[in-house]
């Protein structure tokens, strides 16, 4: 199970049952903690719907009480290939 | 100029601070994830010794030095002065050195540059190999650059710029940062690189000598490498980067090299800021791609934890903004007696003392201050007379509350240059860096009769004869009071 975190202005941005494009950061322990990925994912307020967990922070870093489970469908690479 | 014995590197500075009791060694393990940041924050709020953390979780061999210049004592040490020097003494020394002849930097061979002791290139480049701290819980990321210099060069004019633009680690090769449109780098990006779709080479130097950090933080028109030389009394030692033509301080602890991307942005923030709040919104901001990392053996990462007063951002910006404005006003012949920003204003209020010999001098000062390159960093100017001690907040506050006419003494300027960091600004103003300014004119009007119109200040020093003052002061303990220091 992986732990992820997302920043949103409004928890309503995390619509359930839809494919969402999100920037999420890992909360897994280790030196990569807090590094980001851009992903296509689905979320659910049912914490056992998906294997990974997602916690939410709001616009100024406030930790939301809302919790989700998340399925990362794929990583999206937006950075132009010439820079990779 | 007499020989200056200022610390030439962050290491020399740490040792000098430990020797004087202005830094402490922390040998127990400290977690990079919040704990180190919390230590530095508490040190700032309590005004205590700078923490030198020698044992960082997950990062053996690295160390942290936090709150490097968050006290005037450490600022004095950085300049090679007695730690007990007063603020006016430190300011006078800064003005003397920065009004001296420029001292050009020297470029040294890379084999002599400590920052080249370890070099990571290609697939080895990974910011996660550095102990990048999560400074405040809830920050948008781990911040690589909190007390550092981002080195760039103007593509046409060739001007070198060292600026302290905060940088957040997005992934192992990518950082994002807040670069305001009115800043030197912001202007170079919007005027040149972005319209052409060209990448802007950069280098980030972390763990600088304190005077190099002071130069990077100061809004001086003097190029920073020369300013370092003027402050330290000898040429700054630079070395060429591995992957671009920029030159960086050879004694820095860590160097990141790369390119600012013209056509790709990632999110940055939120971040605890010098105003004492998280104000600027998370947004897609200037994005840095890292192509090389070089660092000293046992490298020390410097951490500034900005927040409520007082940290080195507030201290040093207040100090240097005030003194640079003093130079500007004197250069224009304004009869000022001094300029000071109290750090606790989070460098938002400029206090100017002036001998009010003609009408409109307060407005003249405000126009120069707000219209200068310094202007975006503060939004209040308070002008007091030459009898008010600008360093004494009690006197300044008294002058403000009693002499500033509510209808005639407060002048508001709208639609000025601002920053997204102003806590009072509307969301729209933050997004577009729109500001507002205010002048508090605390001078008695010059068209008032000085005898019959201007109120007399009623104080011990002002209403009693010297003979009475001396008698009362001389008998003070005889009256039964403790001695006055």
The per-residue pLDDT for B75 is 97
Same domain, B257 and B353: no
Phi, psi of B361 (to 5 degrees): -65, -35
Structural domain tally of chain B? 2
Asked if the structure places residue A71 within a domain, the reply is yes
Asked if the structure places residue A84 within a domain, the reply is no
**Under DSSP, is residue B222 helix (H, G, I), strand (E, B) or coil?**
coil
Give, to the nearest 10 degrees, the angle between helix B87-98 and helix B224-232: 120
**Alpha-carbon dihedral sign for residues B139, B141, B142, B148:** negative
> CB distance A60–B172 less than 8 Å?
no
pLDDT tens-place string over residues B252-286? 999 999 999 999 999 999 999 999 999 988 999 99
CB-CB neighbors (< 8 A) of B142 in chain A = 34
pLDDT tens-place string over residues B226-248? 999 999 999 999 999 999 999 99
CB-CB neighbors (< 8 A) of A62 in chain B = 138
**Structural domain boundaries, residue A51:** 3-78
Output the CA torsion A73→A68→A53→A16 (10° steps): -10
Same domain, B127 and B250: yes
Asked if the structure places residue A83 within a domain, the reply is no
Phi, psi of B108 (to 5 degrees): -105, 165
**Under DSSP, is residue B195 helix (H, G, I), strand (E, B) or coil?**
helix
Report the gap between the CA of A11 and the closest CA in chain B (Å): 15
Asked if the structure places residue B111 within a domain, the reply is yes
Query: Taking residues B156-160, what's their average pLDDT?
Result: 93
CB-CB neighbors (< 8 A) of A7 in chain B = 140, 267, 270, 282
Structural domain tally of chain A? 1
The per-residue pLDDT for A27 is 98
Q: Which of A35, A37, A57 sits opposite B128 (nearest CB)?
A: A35
Same domain, B145 and B256: yes
Asked if the structure places residue B150 within a domain, the reply is yes
Chain A / chain B CB contacts < 8 angstroms: 60
Same domain, B272 and B358: no
Asked if the structure places residue B28 within a domain, the reply is no
Same domain, B253 and B177: yes
> CB distance B171–A37 less than 8 Å?
yes
pLDDT tens-place string over residues B344-359? 999 999 999 999 999 9
Asked if the structure places residue A21 within a domain, the reply is yes
Q: Which of B134, B139, B170 sits opposite A36 (nearest CB)?
A: B170
Question: In the predicted model, is pLDDT for residue B334 greater than 90?
Answer: yes
The per-residue pLDDT for B103 is 96
Asked if the structure places residue B99 within a domain, the reply is yes
Query: Taking residues A23-28, what's their average pLDDT?
Result: 98
DSSP string, B309-344: S--HHHHHHHHHHHHHHHHHHHHTT--EEEEE--GG
Confidence of residue B341 (pLDDT cuts 50, 70, 90): very high
The per-residue pLDDT for B485 is 83
Using alpha carbons only, what angle is made at residue B270 by residues B75 and B373, rounded to the nearest 5 degrees?
A: 50
- B405: which 2 tokens? 């006419």
Question: In the predicted model, is pLDDT for residue B389 greater than 80?
Answer: yes
CATH number at residue B410: 3.40.1670.10
Query: Taking residues A49-71, what's their average pLDDT?
Result: 97
Asked if the structure places residue B473 within a domain, the reply is no
The reported pTM is 0.94
Same domain, B341 and B287: no
Using alpha carbons only, what angle is made at residue B193 by residues B191 and B198, rounded to the nearest 5 degrees?
A: 160
Same domain, B297 and B362: no
Taking the CA atoms of chain A, what radius of gyration do you get in angstroms?
A: 13
Q: Which of B58, B142, B261 sits opposite A34 (nearest CB)?
A: B142
Same domain, B192 and B105: yes
pLDDT tens-place string over residues B194-204? 999 999 999 99
DSSP string, B138-169: T-SSEEEESSEEEEEE-TTT--EEEE---EEE
CB-CB neighbors (< 8 A) of A6 in chain B = none
**Structural domain boundaries, residue B176:** 83-302
Q: Chain A, 36-65: which have a CB under 8 Å from a chain B CB?
A: 36-37, 57, 59-63
Same domain, B89 and B235: yes
Phi, psi of B118 (to 5 degrees): -135, 135
Same domain, B291 and B376: no
Q: What is the mean pLDDT of chain B?
A: 96
* Pick from A23, A45, A19: nearest CA to B141: A23
Query: Taking residues B413-433, what's their average pLDDT?
Result: 92
Report the gap between the CA of B138 and the closest CA in chain A (Å): 4
Please list the residues that pair with A25 across neighbouring strands: A5, A36
How far is it, in rounded angstroms, from Cα B32 to Cα B134? 6
The per-residue pLDDT for B46 is 96
CB-CB neighbors (< 8 A) of B129 in chain A = 31
Average the pLDDT over each of A70-79, B1-10, B303-312, B444-453 and give the range with the smallest value.
B1-10
- B425: which 2 tokens? 């600004």
Q: Which of B257, B281, B302 represents a domain boundary (last residue)?
A: B302
Is residue B441 within 8 Å of residue B385, measured between CB atoms?
Answer: no
Confidence of residue B2 (pLDDT cuts 50, 70, 90): low
Question: In the predicted model, is pLDDT for residue B77 greater than 80?
Answer: yes
Confidence of residue A84 (pLDDT cuts 50, 70, 90): confident
Asked if the structure places residue B103 within a domain, the reply is yes
Same domain, B137 and B93: yes
């Amino acid at each position: 199970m992986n732990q992820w975190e997302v920043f949103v202005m409004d928890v309503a941005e995390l619509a359930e049952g839809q494919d969402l494009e999100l920037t999420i950061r890992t909360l897994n322990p280790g030196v990569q903690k807090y590094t980001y990925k851009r992903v296509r994912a689905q979320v659910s307020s049912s914490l056992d719907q998906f294997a990974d967990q997602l916690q939410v922070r709001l616009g100024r870093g406030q930790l939301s009480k809302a919790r989700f489970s998340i399925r990362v469908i794929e990583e999206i690479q937006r950075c132009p290939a010439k820079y990779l | 100029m007499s020989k200056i014995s200022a610390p030439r590197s962050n290491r020399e500075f740490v040792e000098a601070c430990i020797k004087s009791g202005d830094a402490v060694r922390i040998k127990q393990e400290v977690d990079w994830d919040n704990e180190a940041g919390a230590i530095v924050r508490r040190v700032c709020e309590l005004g205590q010794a700078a923490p030198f953390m020698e044992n960082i979780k997950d990062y053996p061999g690295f160390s942290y030095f936090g709150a490097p210049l968050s006290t005037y004592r450490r600022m004095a040490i950085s300049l090679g002065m007695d730690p007990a020097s007063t603020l006016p003494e430190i300011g006078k020394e800064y003005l003397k050195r920065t009004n001296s002849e420029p001292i050009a930097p020297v470029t040294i061979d890379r084999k002599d540059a400590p920052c080249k002791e370890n070099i990571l290139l290609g697939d080895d480049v990974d910011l996660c190999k550095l102990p990048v701290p999560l400074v405040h819980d809830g920050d948008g990321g781990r911040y690589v650059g909190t007390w550092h210099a981002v080195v760039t060069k103007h593509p046409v004019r060739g001007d070198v710029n060292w600026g302290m633009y905060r940088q957040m680690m997005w992934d192992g090769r990518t950082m994002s940062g807040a670069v305001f449109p009115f800043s030197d780098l912001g202007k170079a990006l919007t005027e040149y690189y972005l319209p052409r779709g060209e990448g802007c080479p950069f280098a980030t130097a972390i763990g600088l000598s304190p005077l190099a950090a002071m130069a990077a933080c100061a809004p001086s028109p003097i190029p920073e490498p020369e300013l370092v030389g003027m402050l330290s009394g000898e040429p700054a030692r630079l070395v060429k980067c591995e992957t671009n033509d920029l030159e960086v301080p050879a004694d820095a602890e860590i160097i990141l090299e790369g390119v600012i991307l013209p056509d790709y942005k990632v999110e940055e923030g939120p971040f605890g800021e010098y105003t004492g709040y998280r104000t600027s919104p998370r947004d897609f901001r200037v994005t840095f791609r890292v192509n090389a990392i070089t660092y000293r053996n046992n490298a020390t990462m410097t951490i500034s934890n900005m927040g409520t007063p007082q940290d080195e951002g507030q201290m040093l910006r207040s100090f240097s903004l005030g003194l640079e404005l003093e130079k500007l006003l004197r250069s224009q012949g304004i009869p000022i007696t001094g300029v000071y920003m109290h750090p606790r204003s989070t460098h938002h209020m400029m206090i100017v003392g002036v001998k009010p010999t003609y009408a409109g001098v307060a407005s003249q000062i405000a126009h120069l201050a707000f219209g200068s390159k310094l202007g975006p960093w503060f939004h209040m100017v308070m002008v007091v007379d030459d009898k008010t001690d600008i360093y004494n907040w009690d006197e300044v506050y008294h002058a403000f509350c009693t002499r500033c006419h509510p209808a005639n003494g407060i002048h508001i300027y709208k639609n000025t240059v601002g920053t997204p960091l102003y806590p009072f600004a509307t969301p729209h103003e933050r997004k577009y860096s729109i500001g507002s300014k205010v002048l508090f004119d605390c001078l008695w009007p010059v068209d008032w009769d000085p005898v019959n119109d201007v109120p007399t200040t009623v104080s011990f020093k002002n209403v009693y004869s010297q003979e009475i003052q001396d008698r009362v002061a001389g008998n003070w303990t005889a009256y039964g009071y403790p001695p006055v220091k």
